[in-house]
Structure 1
Amino acid sequence: MNTSNKSTLTLVQFEEEDIPGLIELSESVGWDYDKHEIGTVMSAGSVFGHKNAHGTIVSSAAIIPYEVRLASIGMVIVNKEYRGFGLGKEATQQCSNSLSGDTSIMLISTEDGKPLYERMGFKSVDRVHKYICDTYSTSKKTDTTVTIEDFYVSHFREIVKLDEAAFGDKRSHFLEYRINQSEQCVVVKDKNGSLIGFGLSILGPINLIIGPLVAPDAQIASIILDKLASGHQGKLRIDIPSGQEAFMETLEQCGFVNVSNPPIMMLHSTKMPQRNDELFGIAAQVFG
């Protein structure tokens, strides 16, 4: 533990000029946030944390409020030299305090962080399944009744509706920022021309992140995955909600490995938001 007096630490809301310091904090714990990811987090929500007397960022926590009844907390990081002061709890509490009291708050915890969140009143309600792939092999799934197209602005309203039903809350502002950040965004239409699914890929410093991925079934989800992942030279990552076992089997056939299953925790609720089982890949753990 750093022997500096805790009174020299200041809890602040970070701004755009703090992004380089937040990247350094992320790298110090082996996480791969870059300026684009943090920029989307700041555009869709707020990031709080502590600075020391020299202005160095030593903790962070982000809150992304969605549009009806749900928010997501993530990016909870404390510099290893400043652990033991309760900084993670203070930054997370500041995130919670920034919302109205009846908002349900979701977070995806590390196993180490779980006891802290339990003390704050969070309850474990489910798990997410983190998959990593070094070399992707296409699933070769096909469906002649659907077509897959690149995203156009005219698709946005339907994407928001599909995402709301799949995720459990409306998040149009977040999706606007996320699509602008994306490497690729595709939509799937049925034989009548109705939009029935979509997927995004986000190019990070280590992985091509797939998500959100919304589809009516595992086969269509696999077709979207192929479109987003095929041809990428490098690592891929996708985080899968529980209940999508058929899709997880396809992932493993394509070269993905399940590396962890962190708990999903909720505050002000004892269960997951209502979903329609069409979410096959979350946007990222910070976004719930």
Structure 2
Amino acid sequence: MTEIVRELTEDEWGSIVHLSKAVGWDYHRKEVEMIFKNGTVFGIDDNEKLVACAALISYDEKKIGSIGMVIVLQSHQGKGLGRKLTEACMNRKAQTQSLMLIATKEGESLYRKVGFQTTDTIVKYTSSSFESFNDFVHAQSFEQFMLQDVVDLDAAAFGERREGFLQDRIKQASKAYVRYKDEKIDGYGLAIDTPYNRIIGPLICKTDEGAIDIIRALLIGYSGRVRIDLPKKRERVEAFLQKSGFSLSATPPLMVKGELPDRNGTLISIAAQAFG
């Protein structure tokens, strides 16, 4: 094989989904399309078959770039393809843009070699059977007039504005809730339904109590599999999840190259590992 890195096009989503399934990951069409809409995807072929890919996702101000969806077919691992694709993403970033990624335990050493440092741990919780929530919650459904307040909350939590991404993600959401306190929105959360589970995130709130209320709102009447990825340990939120039937399923490392913009500590759960 030539190991030539090329930029993929959106109509190749099927090859990416197939590659994802081959390694036991759960990327699906809508998520891959969202990644293309917000970033650039690179791939490597062997005999005209996609065997590896990776994406660089950027937001409005290009302060932060997230490298995600780094997949290498098992038969082609150990050949440096992951590094080639990561370097392609690094070469495409804006000059002043810092990079982040959520690594696998196996991939952590590779990313260290190209300048990333481990800064924290993602705390992934999943559940296939949890306590049903059917009671009153202090949250209300998102309406379009709330968008700018939600974007402002998100920017302070994430470190840069990502209005375009949020507009698309809210349209994709099966549920979107906000929480008011003192007549101001102090939190919001989205539920994204996939063929595999319901993802809770992004979820941003100024208090853990409010975050729990939003989680409850997003799960009312739902009984399927659920996933929520916390960007750091949050004892009160984790205690609630454990009591409700969730289990800690993974703790992948969060890695950064450069310095991330200031964050105010209100990011409770991330949109997905590819989006940082």
Residues in 1 aligned to 2:60 and 2:90: alpha-carbon distance in whole angstroms: 16
Question: 2:134 & 2:167 partners in 1: Cα distance?
Answer: 30
Q: Does 1:151 align with 2:139?
A: no
RMSD over equivalenced CA pairs, Å: 1.7
Match of 1:221 among 211, 216, 221: 211
Please show how residues 1-288 of structure 1 align to structure 2 within 5 Å: 6-7=1-2, 9-53=3-47, 55-68=48-61, 69-138=63-132, 147-192=138-183, 194-269=184-259, 272-288=260-276
Deviates more, 1:148-157 or 1:35-44: 148-157
TM-score, structure 1 as length reference: 0.91
Retained in 2: the 8 A contact 1:160–1:175?
yes
Q: Contact conserved, 1:213 with 1:282, CA < 8 A, in 2?
A: yes
> Residue 257 of structure 1 aligns to which amino acid in structure 2?
S
Cα contact 1:167–1:279 (8 A) shared by 2: yes
Query: Aligned AA for 1:36?
Result: K
- Offset, 1:16: 1.7
CA distance in structure 2 between the aligned counterparts of 1:138 and 1:156, rounded to whole angstroms: 29
Distance 1:246 1:188 in 2: 18
**Unpaired runs of 5+ in structure 1?**
1-5
Query: Structure 2 length normalisation: TM-score?
Result: 0.95
Question: Distance in 2 between the 1:52 and 1:172 partners?
Answer: 37
Show structure 2 runs of 5+ residues with no match: none
SS at match of 2:122: strand
Calculate percent identity across the aligned residue pairs: 35
What is the DSSP-based 3-state SS (H/G/I as helix, E as strand, rest coil) of the residue aligned with 2:49? coil
Cα offset, 1:274, TM superposition: 1.9
Offset at residue 141 of structure 1 (A):
8.9
Runs of 4+ in 1 over 6 A off after TM superposition: 139-143
Cα distance, 1:10 vs. partner?
3.3
Check whether the contact 1:149–1:186 (CA below 8 A) recurs between aligned residues: yes
How big is the shift at 1:273? 3.9
| 1:89 to 1:141, Cα distance in 2 relative to 1, 3 A | farther
